[in-house]
Amino acid sequence: MTGFSKTLALAAISFVAVAGAAEARDQIRMVGSSTVFPFSTTVAENFGKTSGFKTPIVESTGTGGGMKLFCAGVGEQHPDFTGASRQMKKSELADCTKNGATVTEIRIGFDGIAIANSKAHTRYSLTKQQLWLALAKDVVVDGKAVANPYKTWNQIDASLPADKIEVLGPPPTSGTRDAFVELVMDTGCQKAMHEMNAKACGAIREDGAFIEAGENDNLIVQKLEANPVALGIFGFSFLDQNSDKLQGSVMDGVEPTFDNIASGKYPVSRSLFLYAKQQHVGVIPGMKEFIAELTKDSTWGPDGYLVDKGLIPLPAAERKASADQANGLAPFAL
């Protein structure tokens, strides 16, 4: 047997072993974003009730954590899908490819990032620059970059409350954190860019004014109820589900509402994604059927059941393009 023939034979044995191992699991497993979690869980529950397949297992691991688990390899010990509140990075796709996984991207809709506080306190009205000044590790004072000196909001702008700056937000592994840095910190820093590099703009202070609250957005909601002065950062869907307790801050003059996010007026919004592992399709039962369920208009369309959970639907043409790509298992590339 030639060296090339041996390579082909070993590859075939490896594939059969992986497929055989994957067949041992008869239930879809999903990981990923805490923001996508309520949507994927809702589809999973509906899928389990109506399809004849087992209800998929869904874990909230954060976008970054989900990508690590998802891209680690092929076989039953690895997830079939991962949710993300940002697009997969080149480095993550490279990991997936290196470990034998071909990926299909499913863009499922929009979500806004809410900066919210308890209704027991006044509503905040902020600009991106004010929020950057409150949370940046270093700011520019008299033309020099210095450690953030601001302790209260009115030190940043006299029109803001004299409350202590306390903001609860997601950890670095979170897609919400990534999107917040890109949409708020980087743009809010633009006027100081001649003094600071882009990496410095996105660095968040570590002196207690910003508190990492983990991947559990429900925990942030509880802490905001207990401390009405504090602000929290999380997806619009959590604000929507807790609108009896919390209020979203006005950002650059625009409230975080369904209509404002859908129209693009609200300045802190992003796309949400689900990624499927092609090597598991046809091996783990129900994957193609799950994708079909997710991409029905009755699921993710304007009158779909995910809207009740706070998902902002894609425009019709973009929704069709995403559905065609998902159901056709188009390989994802950057």
Give strand pairing partners of 254: 251
Distance between CA atoms of residues 135 and 223, nearest Å: 19
List the single range of 8-17, 284-293, 315-324 with lowest mean pLDDT. Answer: 8-17
Per DSSP bridges, beta strands 246-248 and 103-118 are antiparallel
pLDDT digits (tens, 9 = 90+) for 28-53: 999 999 999 999 999 999 999 999 99
- The residues spanned by each domain of the chain are 18-111+270-327, 112-269
Contact 246, 255 (CB under 8 A): no
Residues 112 and 89: their CA atoms lie apart, in Å, by: 20
Instruction: Check whether 144 has a pLDDT greater than 90.
Output: no
Q: What is the mean pLDDT of residues 302-309?
A: 93
Residue 66 · residue 31 · CB < 8 Å:
yes
pLDDT of residue 199: 67
The per-residue pLDDT for 14 is 43
pLDDT tops 80 at residue 6: no
Instruction: Report pLDDT for 9.
Output: 43
Q: What is the pLDDT of residues 199-240, one digit of tens each?
A: 678 899 999 999 998 777 778 888 999 999 999 998 898 899
| pTM to 2 decimal places | 0.81
Q: At what angle do helices 63-70 and 90-98 cross, to 10 degrees?
A: 20
Angle at 223 between CA 217 and CA 226, to 5 degrees: 150
Give the model's pLDDT for residue 238. Answer: 86
pLDDT for residue 103 is more than 80: yes
Residue 66 to residue 69: CA distance in whole angstroms: 5
pLDDT bucket at 16, cuts 50 / 70 / 90: very low
Give the pLDDT of residue 192. Answer: 59
Write the CA distances from 1 to 4, 6, 12, 13, integer angstroms. Answer: 8, 6, 15, 15
Question: Within its chain, how far is the Cα of 124 from the centroid?
Answer: 24
Phi-psi region of 88 (alpha: psi -120 to 50; beta: other; left: phi over 0): beta
Q: Residue 27: pLDDT band by 50, 70, 90 thresholds?
A: very high
CA quadruple 8, 10, 14, 17: dihedral sign: positive
- How many angstroms separate the first and last alpha carbons of the chain? 38
CATH classification for the domain delimited by 112-269, as one of 3.90.870.10, 3.40.630.30, 3.40.190.10, 3.40.350.10: 3.40.190.10
The dotted CATH code for 18-111+270-327 is: 3.40.190.10
pLDDT at 193: 57
Least Cα distance to 38 among 305, 225, 297, 284 occurs for 305
Q: What is residue 122's three-state secondary structure?
A: coil
Is residue 173 within 8 Å of residue 65, measured between CB atoms?
yes
Residue scoring higher pLDDT (219 or 257): 257
Per-residue pLDDT for 4 more than 50? no
Give which of 215, 212, 203 is closest to 85, Cα–Cα: 215
| Side-chain half-sphere CA neighbours of 333 within 13 A | 2
Q: Given this chain, do its domains 18-111+270-327 and 112-269 carry the same CATH topology?
A: yes
* Residues 54-102: tens digit of each pLDDT: 999 999 999 999 999 999 999 999 999 999 999 999 999 999 999 999 9
- Report the pLDDT averaged over residues 120-140: 94
